[in-house]
A and B are shown apart, each in its own frame.
Chain A
Amino acid sequence: MRALRRSRTRDARERLIQLILLVCAISSIFAIFLIIVFVFSQGVPFLAEAGLPFLTGSVWLPADSFAAGTWGIFPIILGSLVVTLGAVAIGAPLGIACAVFLAEIAPPAIRRVLVPSVSALAGVPSVVYGFFALLVIVPWIRGQFGGFGTSVLACWIILSIMILPTIISISTDAMRAVPREYKEGSLAMGATRWQTIRSVLIPAASSGIIASVILGMGRAIGETMAVLLVAGNSVTIPGSIFAPVSTLTAQIALEMNYATGAHQQALFAMGVVLFVFIMILTGLANLATRRRVTF
């Protein structure tokens, strides 16, 4: 009888623990739910009131009340896109090449240095990247090409470095997952190492490589501090890569300090626009990994 009672309390305890663990597990879902509800609750009403001109207008003169301001964020959206695409155009080839090197070519000694280097690159705080860019890259651009130095180009350079760890680590994993037989088969048929990399390894790992580039793009479009320090933050459509630029992230960070009323809501609306971009990119990355290359 006592044994039975003990096993019953033991069962109850086990069930309680399982319930607590379940709550922990769904906390991520709850977190996303909270973020969406709160950010959208401020941003969506503003979007509804401002309508399409918010996205297409090119004059940004925020004010405390909706009527007093001019609300056009087209240059800011364009700035985010230009900065992101340029960073990916520079960072993706370098990152993918580095991943091939890491997965296929690097001698163990170099790999032992490179793998922690990539994690360290991922760990360096974004404000430190921005600091470095502000003190090294910006003056270099100013000296070489004139202007302020805070520019599209400065953003491209520093962001292309910041997205390297994302691209390298995911691409390397994808290449490591390619079955050894594919490569051995190719080499056995007389293909050289480079031919094997180009026509077997990269095609077989392509879905992971594409996903890595899309996630790198997400990292670049979402980056705030480094861009904030080197973009120049001027809400105009940049005329050249040496002109200052503004992005969604930097503009939010810059103006949240003092924004009130409609202005603050407009910044939340910009957050919603950024969120939509990120969701599109996440969806695309998922699509890319789902569509596996089969042989």
Chain B
Amino acid sequence: MAAKRREMVPMGLLWGAGIATIIILVVILAYILAEGLPLISWHFLTANPGVRGQTGTGIYSTIVATVAVTGVALLVAAPLSVGGAIYLNEYTRENLLRKVIRQAAEVLAGIPSIIIGLFGFLFFVIYLLPYTGGWSVLSGGLTLAFMVLPISLRISEEALKAVPGELREGSLGLGATKWQSITTVVLPTALPGIVTGLILGMGRAIGETAAILLTAGGAIGLIHSLQDPCCPMTLYIYNILTEYNDTSTAYGTAAVLIIAILAITFITDWLMNSYTKKLKGL
């Protein structure tokens, strides 16, 4: 009984830590949503930002910019990461190459976004200027691809690893080639996991700011080509805070971002749950 009572303090602290983590999240999200949601209207989402000091404007061009850079990043990173994961899981055994690649992906994921931004500035904005147009959607998106790649590679690999070996053997046994088994049996089974990886990578791209700051240009106008400079939502929040001190538009933009991130969290959570259930049911 005395031991039980002595336990109350440490166990209470552990409970406290768990609850505190939930409370921190709720406070941050609730605060921004409470301030930002009332600002969101059809007009806010579909009107372009005005020049400095102009009220009642929207964030349309920044939403377009976010979608565009994220799209470019995914278009590059998705085939590379899924293809890489297929190679690692289906074509190699546990060997040195596999270890090196996995380590490389881990290192890549750990490189601070500002360093990736420095690289993107030098490589895409300066060095590849004739192709990317300098600070542009293309430069920003390609830089982001470096950050999406490791996330989606790791999760795709885990998803492929979870596919039972019997499925592959069954398909091969029926006379399918390796590639046929992969496209018709392995990939469809692992699809929810692969999609989860891509969505998480997408979330990273949507939320990234530092790398975008050095590569996208920050021009507020609506983009007409991939070579135009642009200002995604995250960068827009930073710019209006530091240059115009316009907190209300910043709240509205942050609320839109948070809704996107929450949607991503719920969708991936649901996908992963249904995936593990499906595999267990096999």
Contact A20 B118 (CB under 8 A): no
A110 at interface, CB cutoff 8 A: yes
CB distance from A273 to the nearest CB of B (A): 10
Chain B, residue nearest A215 (CB): B110
Query: Which residues of chain B are near A23, meaning CB under 8 Å?
Result: 83
| B17, B87, B110 interface centre (most CB from chain A within 10 Å) | B17
Report yes or no: A125 in contact with B234, Cβ–Cβ below 8 A: yes
| Identity of the chain A residue whose Cβ is nearest the Cβ of B146 in the assembled complex | A31
Contact A222 B83 (CB under 8 A): no
Closest CB in chain B relative to A4 CB, distance in Å? 15
Chain B 111-127 residues near chain A, CB threshold 8 A: 111-119, 121-123, 127
Stretch at the interface among A47-55, A67-75, A100-108, A236-244: A100-108
Determine if B87 and A24 form an interchain contact, defined as CB atoms under 8 angstroms apart: yes
Q: How far is the CA of A166 from the CA of B63 in the complex (A)?
A: 28
Among B7, B21, B32, point to the contact of A168 (Cβ < 8 A): B21
Assess the A124–B261 pair: CB atoms within 8 A: yes
Size of chain A's interface in residues, with CB distance under 8 A? 84
Q: Mark A115-148, 1 if CB is under 8 A from B, else 0.
A: 1111111011111111110111000000000000
Determine whether the beta carbon of A128 is less than 8 Å from that of B88: no
Of B79, B87, B118, B127, the contact of A267 (CB 8 Å cutoff): B118
Known contacts A101-B17, A120-B265: does B87 contact A21 (CB below 8 Å)? Answer: yes
CB of A194 within 8 A of CB of B113, answer no
Query: Within the complex, which residue of B4, B108, B200, B254 is in contact with A131, where a contact is CB–CB below 8 Å?
Result: B254
Asked if A94 contacts B83 (CB within 8 A), the reply is no
By the criterion CB–CB under 8 Å, are A131 and B237 in contact? yes
Shortest beta-carbon distance from B239 to chain A in Å? 10
User: What residues of B have a CB within 8 angstroms of the CB of A212 in the complex?
Assistant: none
Task: Out of B16, B107, B114, B179, name the residue touching A224 (CB < 8 Å).
Answer: B114
A252 at the interface (CB under 8 A from B): yes
A34-B123 contact given A14-B179, A21-B91, A128-B257, CB 8 Å threshold: yes
Tell me the complex Cα distance, A228–B149, Å: 26
Q: How many Å lie between the Cα of A94 and that of B112 in the bound state?
A: 24
Residue of A nearest to B236 (CB): A127
Q: Residue A235 at the B interface, CB < 8 A?
A: no
Question: A10, A125, A222, A274: which contacts B207 (Cβ < 8 A)?
Answer: A125
Interface size on B, residues (CB 8 A): 87
> Could you tell me the distance between the alpha carbons of A29 and B88 in the complex, rounded to whole angstroms?
13
Smallest CB-CB separation from B115: which chain A residue? A271
CA distance in complex: A10, B15 (Å): 60
Q: Is A208 interfacial (CB-CB < 8 Å)?
A: no
Q: Choose one: A24, A38, A116, A229; the contact of B122 (CB below 8 Å).
A: A38
Q: Chain A's nearest CB lies how many Å from the CB of B2?
A: 11
**Contacting residues, chain B, for A89 (C-beta < 8 A):** none
Task: Tell me, yes or no, whether B131 is within 8 Å of chain A by CB.
Answer: no
Whether A31 pairs with B112 at a CB distance below 8 angstroms is no
Q: For the complex, what is the distance from the CA of A275 to the CA of B117, rounded to whole Å?
A: 13
Residues of B within 8 Å of A17, CB to CB, are 179
Task: Give the docked Cα–Cα distance between A149 and B20 (Å).
Answer: 24
Do A114 and B21 have beta carbons less than 8 Å apart? yes
> Which A-chain residue is minimally distant from B77 (CB atoms)?
A27
Selected from A42, A106, A110, A194, the residue in CB contact (under 8 A) with B10 is A194
- A229 — which chain B residues lie within 8 A by C-beta? 238, 241-242
CB of A124 within 8 A of CB of B28, answer yes
Q: Once the chains are docked, how many angstroms separate the CA of A128 from the CA of B201?
A: 18
| Distance to closest chain B CB from A95 (angstroms) | 8
Chain B residues whose C-beta falls within 8 Å of the C-beta of A204 in the assembled complex: none
Q: Is the CB of A31 within 8 A of B123?
A: no
Does the CB pair A222–B114 fall under 8 Å?
A: yes
Interface residue? B189 (CB, 8 A): no
B114 touches A106 (CB 8 A): no
Q: Is the CB of B84 within 8 A of A97?
A: no
> Bound state CA distance, A94 and B213, in angstroms?
32
Q: Which residue of B lies closest to A11 (CB)?
A: B177
Are A98's CB and B254's CB within 8 A? no
In the assembled complex, the Cα of A229 lies from the Cα of B20 at a distance in Å of 24
Contact call A252/B114, Cβ cutoff below 8 A: yes
For residue A207, CB closer than 8 A to chain B, the reply is no
A28 and B105 within 8 A (CB):
yes
Of all chain B residues, the one with the shortest Cβ separation from A229 is B241
Q: Which partner residue on chain B sits nearest A281 by CB separation?
A: B110
Q: Are A225 and B15 in contact (CB under 8 A)?
A: no
Q: Tell which of A22, A118, A125, A282 touches B257, judged by Cβ atoms closer than 8 Å.
A: A125
Q: Is A32 an interface residue (CB 8 A)?
A: yes
Interface residues of B in 1-35 (CB under 8 A from A): 3-4, 7, 10-11, 13-18, 20-22, 24-26, 28-29, 31-32
- 18 pairs, CB–CB < 8 Å, chain A vs chain B: A14-B177, A18-B87, A18-B91, A24-B87, A28-B149, A29-B104, A41-B122, A97-B16, A98-B21, A106-B18, A114-B22, A125-B206, A126-B209, A134-B241, A222-B110, A224-B113, A253-B117, A274-B112
Known: A25-B83, A38-B127. 8 other contacts (CB 8 A): A21-B86, A23-B83, A117-B21, A136-B31, A218-B110, A222-B112, A222-B115, A224-B113
For the complex of A and B, the 8 pairs showing the least CB-CB separation, nearest first, are A222-B112, A24-B83, A125-B207, A97-B17, A101-B18, A21-B87, A224-B210, A25-B84
